[in-house]
Structure 1
Amino acid sequence: MLKEIKKKFSAGFIAILFAIALAATSCSQEGGYQGAKPVIPTDPSKPVTFTDFSPKEGPVRTLVFIEGSNFGTDVSKIEVIIGGVSAPVIGSSGTKICVMAPRRSNRGDVIVRIMDEGGKVVKEHQFEELFTLQSALQVNTLTGKVDPQTNASSIINGSFEEAEFQNPWWLEFDIDEEGNKIIYCIDAENLAALRKINLTAREVSTVFMKGQAGVHQVKSMLFDTPTRDTLFLVDDNGRGNWNDRHQMPNMFYALRNESFRKVYPYLYAQCSYSAVSMNDGAIFYNTWTSSEVYKAKQVWDETAQMWDGKALFSVKANSSDHVFMFRHPEDLYVYMTGFNGVYRCAYDKTTKELVSSVLHVGDIGGGSGYADAPGTSARFNRPRQGVFVKNKEYVAQGKADVYDFYVCDHNNNCIRKVTPDGEVSTFAGRGSVGIDGQVWGWIDGEARETARFREPTGICYDEEEEIFYVADRENKRIRTISVE
């Protein structure tokens, strides 16, 4: 029974329940409240003592209990540091303090400071034993305020605690000129707004709203390679007919030196869903009709007085679907998600053209489902944005391709991992089953045993911090996945 309860509630919610119970105990044992806050300070006429803490090990957000006497019940006068990192103090009964094990507290030393009413430290204690932080793949919520009753949200800027998203769809990671780590987010599948998530300042702002320069229904975005000075926006302009391809842009661009706030037409063509920019400057895009892949600005149309794309191949013959393209970091391949599978095509660096795509993993017929398996035995349900991540084990083994591909499996409510050899596994999500039998929802915790997503569509990766960021579309939040 306890195991099932733990699966249904996040550690944060359990901590809140504990804090309420702890406060109630404090009230009955130590005295009363002034309003909603405990009023019992540490007694200056008595010594502050420390006896033990437990448990001695656990993952991030483990509840750690510190025992002793004369702590007081005002948590603002209690400071706990584990492994050099401040640990959130959940509550105190005067004889027992509850804190939550913080991220990156691997060093393990536990220091407690008790302060008097004036904020002066009256006792500092360091335990001889260490707290051992256990590594575990964890899912957490970064930002996204949602009405708990209606699940409603809007486009609201502000701090991570205040910001709201309509339906975060697509993410791109960036580092600006000042060294701030930034995530650009297409909010809503058809771009209601381009949002800027400043990870350094912990705030969300809006770069621009829909409507600039004829922007219609942006489906994806990408930075140019290798300068990253230009941000391309790929648009489903509603023009599926090749004969009216010159009427509306299918790609726009924005410049870094203008803070990406102004948008300009880049290419006129049929409705498109994605593009890739190769390291040598070549740009490829795809269209709805026959899921055709084109090389940008290759054919001069004398009548229209503009450059058209050069048709290369169809991702899946005589078929149309929402196809999204992703450049391999070493330009070995371009991966494409669509038709409930992941397709792969090689890049010829001599001719600067893509070679016809081949199904890498998924159902040959394009049927949906959910199955972790190799190659064509694997099953997806509307895979969307993906990101390549270097695997250190592949590097040590001397493999030619050292990148795994992580992709949002939209209707399966999880993140999947695809190896270069075509092995598919579930990386995060679907970790617990509700009483209604559903595997989707909003639950933080261990990535495979507890965490849940609801229709994730966007993903990016911070290589330095080794953190994945996920646009959790129907939860209207930005989530993180990292080893903690």
Structure 2
Amino acid sequence: MSPLELGLIGHFDNYEFPEVLNLNYCLNMKNFNIKGRRTIYWMTSLFLALFYMSCSDDGISPSAILINAAPYDPSQPIEITNFTPDSGGLGQRMVIYGKNFGNNPDSIQVYIGGQKAKVIGVQGESIYCLVPRKAFSGAVEIYMGKKQPDQEPLASSEKLFKYQRKTIVSTLVGYKNERDDQGWNPGKFDEATGFAQACIMNYDPLDPKRLFISYDNGPGIYTIDFSDSTVNKVIDGSAVSNQSRLRGVSFTRDGQYMVVGHSQGNVNNPAVSIMSRANGFTDPQVLIRARGNQGVAIHPQDGQLYFCEFQTGTLRRYDIENSQRLGGTLGVTDYEDLFSIQDINWEFYLVCHPTGNYAYIMVLNQHYILRTDYDWENKRFKTPYRVAGEPRVAAYADGVGTSARFNTPYGGVFVKNPDYAGREDEYDFYIADRHNHAVRVLKPDGRVDTFAGRGSSSLDSNPYGYVEGDVRLEARFNQPTGIAYNESEGAFYIADLQNRCIRKIEAE
């Protein structure tokens, strides 16, 4: 073991990695414990060696490390003379220089911008720490022992740290223990578990604090209620469909009815069910009978309902507002076939643009995206054309249009981009790219970029995992499927299947 490691290792036995790395959680989720002191020393030594050798990339010199520093002397003042770097965001590695810092990282506390920083090591005239979240004011302050309310710092810097706001990934609710036996348990955010199937997410149009989630393969329909921070089960999947294959949730234009698509093979099986707000969305009734439905969407302007057939790749239209379920005369088989795409046996999810001018068709199991433009005169979507991805090619690549590559593009949501104000199309389209473990963005000009995920390249070569922090540099997902956007918050919510949780993406 090197002198560098020997001089610092004793301070790190109980070190918890910061949320931007979150290594304990990344390896085995919650309750991860390394057995054996030798293993702890070996892993810590490796991390420290890499950390300090890489510090020079940020202008932090390894020569700043001091060995066998004197302990803190309370009879002498603490001074801050400098720190480097002078700017950065969440998780930035930082060295503070000065005097009388001592040699015990458990005793010294560093606050940056009023937020407590993670102290990694201290050696007399140097403190090594990580910049905390939301350190907006930039003041660098030092305390000894536990900071008391209204306590004045023992030292503060004359200059301010220039905090750079980031877009970060965090976890709203849910977790996966090392046995993955936490089960499905509704309740408060700090105790609810589940989220272990692919899903589609959609906000209640009359109650923006309720996010509905329709789960494939059994669990049913759940809500995330932001008004009281709870997860609630609305209805079991078997109550809606005998095979429990719920493949999407949408709402009528007036918001009084919820429609749910489900997949069964027989032509006489239910394909779309309808539930009323008056009954709490717990009274599923058959709206349409057909086979192999893979999704459901309602046009945001004229209210027509669209669904599809798996076996033939056919898009279908149903005049829901004239249905007998809403006081009209149409029956459960009075739908119209519009067109078929090139692939049969396709898994389908259609997302309408907020203006209604077009929709994207996510061809999940064939790895590409189609666009279908709307015929306003005849109230129906036209024959689609491919805008991104390559049919039957599962890969990962950013690029323009058909040069981009996906691997199971699942849920999608349109988000207004203020930079596009006044343009013909003011919306970007965000996609949960399931087996690429990323959130992608499809822009109106056809450009596909990676928005979130596949970070922390220093951990290992995998694109998947559980890591929080910077949306691209650190964050990782493991099979994201559902995606929703809250415009008032400016926040995305992502159903992270293999991590058994709902993630949140927001700017600080």
TM range (shorter): 0.7 to 0.9
Do 2:396 and 2:407's aligned partners in 1 also have CA atoms closer than 8 Å?
yes
Do 1:382 and 1:409's aligned partners in 2 also have CA atoms closer than 8 Å?
yes
Between Structure 1 and Structure 2, which shows a larger proportion of strand residues? 1
> Given residue 390 of structure 1, which amino acid in structure 2 is its aligned partner?
K
Aligned to 2:185: 156
Query: 1:458 and 2:482 equivalent?
Result: yes
For 1:264 and 1:138, how far apart are their aligned partners in 2?
41
Compared with structure 1, are the counterparts of its residues 297 and 162 closer, same or farther at alpha carbon in structure 2 (3 Å cutoff)?
Answer: same
> Aligned match of 2:234 in 199, 207, 230?
207
Kindly report which structure 2 residues correspond to 1:93-132, keeping only aligned pairs within 5 A, or say none: 101=131, 103-109=133-139, 121-123=150-152, 128-132=158-162
Compared with structure 1, are the counterparts of its residues 204 and 108 closer, same or farther at alpha carbon in structure 2 (3 Å cutoff)?
Answer: farther
Aligned to 1:380: 406
Do 2:202 and 2:249's aligned partners in 1 also have CA atoms closer than 8 Å?
no
Do 1:368 and 1:379's aligned partners in 2 also have CA atoms closer than 8 Å?
yes
Q: How well do the aligned residues superpose, as a CA RMSD in angstroms?
A: 4.3
Kindly report which structure 2 residues correspond to 1:271-286, keeping only aligned pairs within 5 A, or say none: 271-278=292-299, 279-286=301-308
Measure how far apart 1:377 and its partner are: 2.2
For 2:229 and 2:123, how far apart are their aligned partners in 1?
34
Do 1:89 and 1:97's aligned partners in 2 also have CA atoms closer than 8 Å?
no
Give the TM-score of the pair, scaled to structure 1: 0.75
Measure how far apart 1:452 and its partner are: 2.3
For 2:314 and 2:460, how far apart are their aligned partners in 1?
41
Q: What SS does the corresponding residue of 1:290 show, helix, strand or coil?
A: coil
Aligned to 1:13: 22
Measure how far apart 1:341 and its partner are: 0.8
> Given residue 287 of structure 1, which amino acid in structure 2 is its aligned partner?
E
Give the TM-score of the pair, scaled to structure 2: 0.72
For 1:441 and 1:473, how far apart are their aligned partners in 2?
11
Question: In the TM superposition, what whole-angstrom CA distance separates every residue of 1:140-162 from its partner, at most 9, and x where no partner exists?
Answer: 333222113x3443112334332
For 1:123 and 1:15, how far apart are their aligned partners in 2?
34
Q: What SS does the corresponding residue of 2:347 show, helix, strand or coil?
A: coil
> Given residue 344 of structure 2, which amino acid in structure 1 is its aligned partner?
S
Measure how far apart 1:387 and its partner are: 0.9
> Given residue 82 of structure 1, which amino acid in structure 2 is its aligned partner?
G
For 2:93 and 2:188, how far apart are their aligned partners in 1?
27
Query: 1:419 and 2:435 equivalent?
Result: no
For 2:99 and 2:231, how far apart are their aligned partners in 1?
42
Measure how far apart 1:197 and its partner are: 2.2
Aligned to 1:37: none
Aligned to 1:335: 360
How many matched pairs?
442
Do 1:290 and 1:314's aligned partners in 2 also have CA atoms closer than 8 Å?
no
Do 1:75 and 1:92's aligned partners in 2 also have CA atoms closer than 8 Å?
no
Measure how far apart 1:323 and its partner are: 0.9
Question: In the TM superposition, what whole-angstrom CA distance separates every residue of 1:253-285 from its partner, at most 9, and x where no partner exists?
Answer: 334444434433332222311121112211111
Question: In the TM superposition, what whole-angstrom CA distance separates every residue of 1:7-46 from its partner, at most 9, and x where no partner exists?
Answer: x98535379999xx9xxxxxx9889xxxxxxxxxx99xx7
Do 1:168 and 1:471's aligned partners in 2 also have CA atoms closer than 8 Å?
no
For 2:260 and 2:117, how far apart are their aligned partners in 1?
41
Compared with structure 1, are the counterparts of its residues 438 and 313 closer, same or farther at alpha carbon in structure 2 (3 Å cutoff)?
Answer: same
Query: 1:220 and 2:251 equivalent?
Result: no
For 2:289 and 2:107, how far apart are their aligned partners in 1?
60
> Given residue 285 of structure 1, which amino acid in structure 2 is its aligned partner?
F
Do 1:171 and 1:183's aligned partners in 2 also have CA atoms closer than 8 Å?
no
Aligned to 2:258: 231
> Aligned match of 1:263 in 262, 278, 284?
284
Compared with structure 1, are the counterparts of its residues 75 and 213 closer, same or farther at alpha carbon in structure 2 (3 Å cutoff)?
Answer: same
Q: Which runs of 5+ in 1 are unaligned?
A: 1-7, 22-27, 32-41
Compared with structure 1, are the counterparts of its residues 115 and 159 closer, same or farther at alpha carbon in structure 2 (3 Å cutoff)?
Answer: farther
Compared with structure 1, are the counterparts of its residues 75 and 9 closer, same or farther at alpha carbon in structure 2 (3 Å cutoff)?
Answer: closer
Question: In the TM superposition, what whole-angstrom CA distance separates every residue of 1:176-207 from its partner, at most 9, and x where no partner exists?
Answer: 87x773332234x2241322223454433322
Measure how far apart 1:208 and its partner are: 2.7
> Given residue 472 of structure 1, which amino acid in structure 2 is its aligned partner?
D
